């Protein structure tokens, strides 16, 4: 079958009249055309992504306070300060909670994506339920969950309906507060991971499952030998996103606790440096350092898990 | 990232190093004056007033003030813009020339930079005859801002609950205060003290015990020159009291999920007995009482439990200072608004606050203060700029919530350490900053 089509294609192209070589002007236009299309996205990308980074990099070499017209060039002094103050890096321990949470999140998303990719009753409804939290604004989520964790709030009432009277201050101790916040983060981002996995799973041809079933494979075998290898690129991408996301957690703890009770993350600390203590220069340096850390972590992961092609057949 | 993107990033990065650090506004209008208009009917222009009072923008109260203002100044159009996150938003806008015509001076602006951003309202020598608080905005003898209200810190408390607990006299020492809170806990259902931990800014008002404890008008200068957490220093006394209150379990069960808006009606109804805030809060709590259908007269106000020479002390300080944008096209109109709003608007009376006019009477809510002979002092702000600088350099944040939140966490055992260690660390950072800044 393949052979014949290929031959046919060759014949067709051979039969077609050979087009005259394009004039120099046309060729020049052809070279320019893709760039014309790219102008808008590139302009946006440069204005809103690279220019601010460049600005930030420039600030990181100054002692600017964020508003005064006077600023001095201080060389690498800010970077020296960032690296000689261990207290600035201590907050990365908090990221550990979010890392653990993203492991849970990926496993859960994978589980639900696998189940819902098969024929299940109310399948679309459940897809909607799982994806819905991702559509809500992060600030709103923060406020909603403040009530949720309140003393005698939603969580406590639900638990007492089940007969559990915990009397636990959910945001009261660093461990409990971080776990609760990481839980909120799982609730919010599960939907995104889930949709990514679902898309990848559904791009696996259906015949493969049929064939596997004929060979006597059960659901677990199908998952192990068809789904898992089939979605490997998406899986690695998700892991990378989760890890860099865990290092730069911001909105949920910022809105819910403002970084109190040991929930301060690196980004919250940077924001405080810039806006509370008016050390915009130092904060810019910290932000650049975070950017470099994330680039490094991503690069290491890419090295460990090379980006290979999927080949199911 | 492949090689090509790495290359382009490198190009972008090196371009960054070539960019000159140009920020902020030009100094062309530096030192401009906003003169008071001679003839109100001739002043024209449309002015924009930036404010933190989003509530008054929304319920139309500010519009009513503007309408009243227009009776004297018919040709001036006043527009208001309420900002929820005032400090952060205005700070960024001040990198341009468009930051309204009248604005509240953000805390971040260095005093020395005032002439770059604001138009002068006159000399201190002349203004201080009529107004209080002029030294807070004076640079080189010229005044750049005027606060429409003065505030005094103190405890908002529910009189009924305190009486039910058998306390009739104001506590005169921190120990007595603790004992009274214990009595409230034992004899009533109320939460003796509410931290309002979650809102954060509510805890920063503990910094305003400074001056009230020692009854010293030079309290700010002391902050700039001495260790605020030395034995017996004002901030140490205040912080120790807060620590003890929390440590003794005299606060709400879960401070981390406390709720500021909710705390107002709850205090009015007597579910909460006490909160450390300021005179500005009285009117809000009384409104909450009216809405909740309870007696607004139950809301009481008392000074910090410390006496000097047998008398309580309370500091009076300006709220946000209003200033004229140095780039404003209608400086006369803007100046007219500030003068009118300070002198004639009735904003002070509406907020039961202390008037910035020297000859104005004290508000009715401070009647008990007069009866008890509470001494009101105005703290000298000559070193205010230095204190702010020390605060930023040391990253202590006496005007930011983190340090008091950490203190509360420490007291309730959610953070490791001792009170002495905690306060010792603060003094170390503060005095180090003093050394680095020089004098």
User: Taking a C-beta distance cutoff of 8 angstroms, is the pair B50, B83 a contact?
Assistant: yes
Question: Which residues in chain A have their CB less than 8 angstroms from residue B26's CB?
Answer: 69
B348 has a pLDDT exceeding 80: yes
pLDDT at A311: 65
Q: Cβ–Cβ of A260/B88 closer than 8 Å?
A: no
pLDDT for residue A12: 45
**Could B19 and A299 be called an inter-chain contact, meaning their C-beta atoms sit closer than 8 Å?**
no
Scanning every residue of chain A, which has its alpha carbon at the shortest distance from the alpha carbon of B86?
Answer: A275
Q: Residue B190 pLDDT > 60, yes or no? A: yes
B395: left (phi over 0), alpha (psi -120 to 50) or beta: left
Give strand pairing partners of B376.
Answer: B314
Is B19–A54 a contact, with Cβ atoms under 8 angstroms apart?
A: yes
> A55 and chain B: CB distance < 8 Å anywhere?
yes
| DSSP 3-state of B256 | helix
Strand boundaries in B83-196, DSSP class E? 102-104, 118-119, 122-123, 138-139, 142-143, 150-151, 153-158, 191-193
What is residue B415's three-state secondary structure? coil
Q: Which two tokens stand for residue B158?
A: 């529910």
Q: Which two tokens stand for residue A205?
A: 């041809």
User: Does A10 have pLDDT greater than 50?
Assistant: no
Q: Of B158, B101, B106, which Cα lies nearest the Cα of B137?
A: B106
Q: What is the pLDDT at residue A313? A: 55
- Cβ atoms within 10 Å, residue A281: 27
Other CB atoms within 10 A of residue A65 CB: 21
Contacts of B397 (CB under 8 A, 6+ apart): A276, A277, B391, B403
Contacts of A279 in chain B (CB under 8 A): 392, 395
Which residues on neighbouring strands pair with residue B259, listed in sequence order? none
Tokens of A164: 């559990």
Do B200 and A258 make contact, defined as CB atoms within 8 angstroms? yes
| pLDDT for B124 beyond 70 | yes
Q: Looking at the complex, does the CB of residue A50 fall below 8 Å from at least one CB of chain B?
A: yes
- The C-alpha torsion from B194 through B195 and B200 to B202, rounded to 10°, is 70
On chain A, the residues whose CB falls within 8 A of the CB of B95 are 67
User: Which residues of chain A have a CB within 8 Å of the CB of B110?
Assistant: 65, 68
For A172, the closest of B21, B116, B414 (CB atoms) is B414
Residues of A in contact with B17 (CB under 8 A): 57-58, 61
Test mutation, B13, B23, B266, B392, chain A, max A CBs within 10 A: B23
Say whether B181 sits in a helix, a strand or coil: helix
Q: How far is B409 from chain A (nearest CA, A)?
A: 6
Compute φ and ψ for A115, nearest 5 degrees.
-60, -45
Kindly state whether A279 is in contact with chain B, defined as any CB-CB distance less than 8 angstroms: yes
For residues B259 and A147, give the distance between their C-alpha atoms in angstroms, rounded to a whole number.
10
Name beta bridge partners: B139. B142
What band does A9 get if pLDDT is binned at 50, 70 and 90? very low
- Distance from C-alpha of B408 to C-alpha of A169, rounded to nearest angstrom: 15
Give the DSSP H or E segment for A128: helix A123-135
Angle between helices A232-247 and A280-304 (to 10 degrees): 160
Q: Name chain A contacts of B19, Cβ cutoff 8 Å.
A: 54-55, 58
Residue A68 has its nearest CB partner, among B24, B200, B412, at: B24
Helix (H, G, I), strand (E, B), or coil: what is residue A201? helix
Q: Are B315 and B377 in contact (CB under 8 A)?
A: yes
The 10s digit of each residue's pLDDT in A280-304 is 999 999 999 999 999 999 999 888 8
Residue B55 pLDDT class (50, 70, 90 cuts)? confident
Is the Cβ pair B108, A65 closer than 8 Å? yes
Angle at B292 between CA B291 and CA B297, to 5 degrees: 85
The answer to whether A170 contacts B87, with C-beta atoms less than 8 Å apart, is: no
Task: Determine whether the interchain pair B257/A58 forms a contact, defined as Cβ–Cβ distance below 8 Å.
Answer: no
CA distance B7 to chain A (A): 14
Please give the residue of chain A at the shortest CA–CA distance from B110: A68
Q: Which two tokens stand for residue A58?
A: 């420039």
A45 touches chain B (CB under 8 A): no
For residues B31 and B26, give the distance between their C-alpha atoms in angstroms, rounded to a whole number. 12
Which CA distances in Å does B213 have to A249, A260, B234, B236, B410? 41, 28, 6, 10, 23
- Report the gap between the CA of A73 and the closest CA in chain B (Å): 8
| Measured distance CA(B248)–CA(A184) in Å, rounded | 32
Q: Return the HEC string of A211-259.
A: HHHHCCCCHHHHHHHHHHHHCHHHHHHHHHHHHHHHHCCCHHHHHHCCC
CA of A143, closest CA in chain B: separation in Å? 11
pLDDT in tens, B230-286: 999 999 999 999 999 999 999 999 899 888 989 999 999 999 999 999 998 999 999
d(CA A278, CA A288): 17
Percentage, residues of chain B above pLDDT 70 = 93
**First-to-final CA distance of chain A:** 18
Q: What's the burial of B224, exposed, middle or buried (CB within 10 Å: 0-12/13-18/19+)? A: buried
Task: Quick: pLDDT tens for B7-42.
Answer: 444 444 444 444 444 444 444 456 688 888 888 888
Residue B139 tokens, joined: 């640079």
Bigger pLDDT: A73 vs B107: A73
Mean per-residue pLDDT for B372-398?
91
Contact yes or no for A150 and B259 at CB 8 A: yes
Let me know: does B270 contact B289? Beta carbons within 8 Å.
no
User: What are the phi and psi torsion angles at B170 (to 5°)?
Assistant: -65, 135
Angle between helices A174-202 and A92-117 (to 10 degrees): 40
Q: What is the DSSP string of B274-321?
A: EEEEEHHHHHHHHHHHHHHTS-GGGEEEE--S-EETTEEEEEEEE-SP
Contact between residue B146 and residue B118 where contact means Cβ atoms under 8 Å apart: no
Q: With H, G, I as helix, E, B as strand and everything else as coil, classify residue B41.
A: helix
Burial (CB < 10 A; 0-12, 13-18, 19+), residue A108, is middle
Cβ pair A62:B257 closer than 8 A: no
Q: What is the largest CA-CA distance in chain B?
A: 79
Q: Which residue of B has its CA nearest to A281?
A: B21
Q: What gap in Å lies between CA B171 and CA A290, rounded to an integer?
A: 51
In whole angstroms, give the CA distance from residue B271 to residue B188: 9
Residue with the larger pLDDT of the pair B229 and A11 = B229
- The pTM of this model reads 0.84
Residue A40, C-beta contacts closer than 8 angstroms, at least 6 positions apart: none
Instruction: Quote the ipTM score.
Output: 0.81
Q: How many CB pairs under 8 A join A and B?
A: 128
End-to-end, the C-alpha distance of chain B in Å comes to: 50
Per-residue pLDDT, averaged over B321-332, amounts to 94
Number of neighbouring beta carbons within 10 Å of residue A37:
10
Contact A65 B12 (CB under 8 A): no
pLDDT grade for B412, boundaries at 50, 70 and 90: very high
Contact A57 B397 (CB under 8 A): no
Instruction: Show residues of chain B in contact with A55, CB under 8 Å.
Output: 16, 19
Q: Are strands B311-318 and B375-378 parallel, antiparallel or unpaired?
A: parallel
Q: Which residues 6+ apart lie within 8 Å of A270 measured at CB? A: A283, A286, A287, A290
Closest partner CB to A169 (pick from B106, B254, B397): B254
**What whole-number distance in Å separates Cα of residue B88 and Cα of residue A278?**
11
Question: Averaged over B358-377, what is the pLDDT?
Answer: 88
Cβ–Cβ below 8 Å for A171 and B197: no
Average pLDDT over residues A118-122: 87
A146 touches chain B (CB under 8 A): yes
Of A146, A169, A279, the CB nearest to B392: A279
User: Would you tell me how many other CB atoms lie within 10 Å of the CB of residue B124?
Assistant: 18
Contact A247, A95 (CB under 8 A): yes
Cβ(B312)–Cβ(B375) under 8 Å? yes
3-state class (DSSP) for residue B359: coil
Non-local (6+) Cβ contacts of B89 within 8 A are B83
- Structural tokens at position A193: 């991971």
8 A C-beta contact, residue A125 and residue A131: no
Give the pLDDT confidence score for residue B205 in this predicted structure. 92
Query: Which DSSP string do the residues of A250-305 spell out, in sequence order?
Result: -HHHHHHTTTTTTT--HHHHHHHHHHTS--HHHHHHHHHHHHHHHHHHHHHHHHHS
């Amino acid at each position: 079958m393949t052979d014949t089509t290929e031959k046919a294609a060759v014949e067709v192209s051979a039969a077609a009249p050979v087009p005259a070589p394009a004039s120099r002007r046309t060729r020049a236009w052809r070279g320019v055309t893709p760039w014309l299309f790219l102008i808008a996205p590139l302009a946006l990308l440069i204005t809103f992504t690279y220019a601010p980074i460049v600005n930030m990099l420039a600030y990181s070499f100054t002692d600017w306070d964020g508003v005064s017209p006077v600023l001095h060039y201080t060389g690498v002094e800010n970077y020296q300060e960032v690296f000689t103050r261990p207290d600035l890096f201590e907050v990365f321990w908090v990221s550990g909670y979010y890392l653990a949470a993203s492991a849970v999140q990926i496993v859960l998303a994978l589980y639900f994506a696998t189940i819902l990719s098969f024929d299940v009753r109310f399948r679309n409804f459940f897809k909607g339920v799982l994806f819905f939290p991702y559509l809500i604004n992060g600030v709103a989520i923060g406020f909603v969950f403040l009530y949720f964790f309140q003393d005698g709030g939603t969580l406590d009432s639900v638990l007492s309906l089940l007969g559990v009277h915990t009397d636990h201050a959910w945001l009261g101790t660093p461990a409990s507060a971080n776990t609760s916040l990481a839980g909120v983060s799982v609730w919010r981002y599960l939907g995104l991971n889930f949709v990514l996995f679902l898309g990848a799973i559904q791009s696996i041809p259906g015949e493969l499952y049929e064939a596997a079933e004929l060979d006597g494979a059960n659901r677990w075998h199908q998952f192990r030998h068809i789904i898992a290898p089939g979605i490997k690129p998406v899986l690695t991408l998700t892991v990378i996103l989760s890890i860099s996301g865990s290092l730069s957690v911001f909105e949920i703890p910022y809105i819910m606790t403002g970084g109190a009770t040991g929930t301060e993350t690196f980004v919250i600390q940077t924001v405080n440096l810039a806006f509370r203590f008016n050390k915009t220069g130092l904060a810019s340096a910290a932000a650049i350092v975070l950017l470099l850390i994330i680039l490094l972590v991503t690069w290491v992961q890419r090295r460990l898990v090379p980006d290979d092609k999927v080949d199911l057949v | 990232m492949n090689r090509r993107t790495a290359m382009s990033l490198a190009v972008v990065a090196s371009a960054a190093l070539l960019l000159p650090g140009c920020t902020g506004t030009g100094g062309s209008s530096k030192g401009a004056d906003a003169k008071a208009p001679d003839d109100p009917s001739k002043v024209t222009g449309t002015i924009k007033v930036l404010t933190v009072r989003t509530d008054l923008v929304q319920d139309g109260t500010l519009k009513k003030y503007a309408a009243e203002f227009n009776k004297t100044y018919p040709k001036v159009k006043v527009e208001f813009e309420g900002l929820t996150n005032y400090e952060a938003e205005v700070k960024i806008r001040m990198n341009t020339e468009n930051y309204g015509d009248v604005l509240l001076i953000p805390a971040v602006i260095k005093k020395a930079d005032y002439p770059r951003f604001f138009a002068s309202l006159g000399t201190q020598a002349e203004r201080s005859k009529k107004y209080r608080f002029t030294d807070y905005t004076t640079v080189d003898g010229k005044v750049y801002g005027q606060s429409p209200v003065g505030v005094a810190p103190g405890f908002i408390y529910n009189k009924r609950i305190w009486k039910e607990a058998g306390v009739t006299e104001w506590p005169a020492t921190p120990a007595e205060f603790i004992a009274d809170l214990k009595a409230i806990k034992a004899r009533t259902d109320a939460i003796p003290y509410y931290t309002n931990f979650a809102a954060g800014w509510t805890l920063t008002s503990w910094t305003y015990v400074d001056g009230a404890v020692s009854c010293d008008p030079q309290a700010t200068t002391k902050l700039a020159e001495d260790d605020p957490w030395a034995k017996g220093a004002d901030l140490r006394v205040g912080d120790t009291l807060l620590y003890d209150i929390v440590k003794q379990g005299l606060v709400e069960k879960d401070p981390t999920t406390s709720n500021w808006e909710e705390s107002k009606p709850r205090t009015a109804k007597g579910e909460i007995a006490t909160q450390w805030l300021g005179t500005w809060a009285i009117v809000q709590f009384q409104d909450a009482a009216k809405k909740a259908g309870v007696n607004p007269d139950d809301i009481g106000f008392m000074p910090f439990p410390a006496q000097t020479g047998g008398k309580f002390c309370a500091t009076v300080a300006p709220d946000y200072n209003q200033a004229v944008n140095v780039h404003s096209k209608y400086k006369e109109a803007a100046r007219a608004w500030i003068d009118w709003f300070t002198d004639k608007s009735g904003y002070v009376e509406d907020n039961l606050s202390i008037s910035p006019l020297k000859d104005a009477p004290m508000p009715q809510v401070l009647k008990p203060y007069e009866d008890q002979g509470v001494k009101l002092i105005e703290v000298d702000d000559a070193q205010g700029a230095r204190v702010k600088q020390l605060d930023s350099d040391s990253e202590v944040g006496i005007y930011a919530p983190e340090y008091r939140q950490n203190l509360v966490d420490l007291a309730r055992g959610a953070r490791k350490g001792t009170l002495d260690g905690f306060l010792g660390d603060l003094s170390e950072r503060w005095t180090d900053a003093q050394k680095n800044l020089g004098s």
